[in-house]
Amino acid sequence: MATQSNPDPGRPVLRALIMFAAVAMTPAIAAGQPAVPPLGPPVALAPVPNGDLAGGLEGWSRVGPTMTLTSGPLIEAGDNTTVVGPAFTVPGTAQALPMVLGVPGANAVLDIRARPVEGGADIPLATIVPDRAVRSWDVGVAGIRGRAVRIVIDPVAGLGRRLYVRSIGPAVEVLPGWGITAGLPVVRTLWGRRGLDVQDGPLAARTPSFRPAARTRFIGISVRGQGRIRASVRGRTVGVSAKAGSWTTLRFAVPRGRSPVSMAFTATPAPGEHVMVAGIGAPAPAPNTPGRPPRRS
């Protein structure tokens, strides 16, 4: 149930094939070193039918007393009216669903749910505390890919408030080729590094297969903030708690021969906090071996 907002329209030689993972409790790879595989660019997928209100209110419905179409076009709903969007099938590679909305006034909370077209209970997607201004919000859709649904926008704590809705969709593949099984991937630059900013709930992801650069002995994944990360490469799993003031790197040895590898990880922020994940699969220096002096750069 993750959602985030965006402005409306950041060596010791090991024997071959022996996997080794180590947690580095010192600052991680230098800023600016590119991650492998790349983080994007995002790809817009099939649009939601009339998700942009170009066809008026066709396909839209309400539960409550008032919903009108104003200039913009823009839906204006009042008196705690729930807005239900048009039916559509969530693309199989979708990772996020943008929606542009706002609530004039304060103390409003919106529940965002997916209502299966075939019937059954609504599927919770996110809880949004919206701005007064209309702006874009991204909602994770890992749990509803391939399903025919309608998006429900429900003002659960906004009695008497107006709700504005400008659009729903199109769905976006934020990280093409990546597998996202939970959460919302948000690419951002923070603390001098470009990576994934994880808020509101866990992000579970797997990179596409990639080949480490020639002579790479270790690849890494770095974390900073408040929360925890667990990462796996070829059956080796390592976890570490993030630090608020510095980067921490998990390192994995890779076999000789530039064989393809893939990295899976789950980043879990502390309640009300966030963790930043960067340097995913990037070459990493070897960890220090106990009893040996640190390696000089």
Give the CATH number of the domain where residue 180 resides.
2.60.120
Which residue among 143, 170, 197 closes a domain?
170
Q: Which amino acid is at 159?
A: L
Q: How many domains does the chain have?
A: 2
* Residue 48 burial by Cβ neighbours in a 10 Å radius (0-12, 13-18, 19+): buried
Q: Given a cut of 90, is residue 160 above it in pLDDT?
A: no
Separation CA 118–CA 199 (nearest Å): 31
Nearest 10 degrees: CA dihedral of 208, 212, 213, 214?
-140
pLDDT average, residue stretch 34-43:
77
pLDDT at position 157 is 64
Let me know whether 51 and 131 are in one domain.
yes
Separation CA 260–CA 47 (nearest Å): 34
Let me know whether 93 and 240 are in one domain.
no
pTM (predicted TM-score): 0.82
pLDDT average, residue stretch 257-269:
89
pLDDT at position 7 is 39
Query: Which residues form the domain of 194?
Result: 3-41+175-283
pLDDT at position 107 is 66
Let me know whether 133 and 85 are in one domain.
yes
**Rg of the chain over all Cα atoms, to the nearest angstrom:** 22
- pLDDT tens profile 82-141: 999 999 999 999 999 999 999 886 667 899 999 999 999 999 999 988 877 899 999 999
In a domain, 141, yes or no: yes
pLDDT at position 61 is 97
